[in-house]
């Protein structure tokens, strides 16, 4: 139970300083979504494979770079909770890249 509480505290302390950035990111996502939704030629289904590739690439990059951004390294992750936390952060980064990329890619993949 302590590991779960510690993980939640780490998430909270990590996200708290960047609340303004999270709000700006949410505003950018809503703007992209509205812009793509208002374009009648936006092809959402055709953009899905490229969105999956973008999300997988972003998750892989996040998995490799996140430890270095916190002045750590992959060799210092010795406990299973560390690996789960890093994996979940990487999956979250991939999901965020997919959420931001799908409207833009759907707009770019307009029906011909």
- C-alpha angle 80/7/26, rounded to 5°? 120
Query: 58 pLDDT band (50/70/90 cuts)?
Result: very high
d(CA 77, CA 22): 27
Note the pTM of the prediction, 2 decimals. Answer: 0.73
> What's the confidence (pLDDT) of residue 10?
87
Q: Quick one: average pLDDT of 77-81?
A: 83
Q: Quick one: average pLDDT of 101-107?
A: 88
DSSP 3-state assignment of 41?
coil
- Model confidence over 2-29: pLDDT tens digits? 888 988 898 888 888 888 988 998 999 9
Chain position carrying tokens 């609340």: 19
């Amino acid at each position: 139970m302590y590991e779960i509480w510690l993980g939640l505290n780490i998430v909270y302390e990590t996200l708290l300083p960047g609340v303004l950035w999270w709000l700006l990111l949410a505003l950018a996502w809503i703007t992209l979504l509205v812009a793509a939704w208002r374009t009648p030629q936006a092809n959402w289904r055709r953009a899905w494979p490229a969105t999956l590739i973008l999300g997988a690439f972003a998750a892989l990059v996040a998995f490799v770079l996140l430890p270095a951004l916190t002045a750590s390294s992959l060799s210092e992750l010795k406990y299973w909770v560390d690996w789960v936390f890093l994996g979940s952060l990487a999956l979250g980064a991939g999901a965020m890249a997919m959420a931001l990329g799908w409207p833009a890619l759907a707009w770019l993949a307009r029906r011909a």
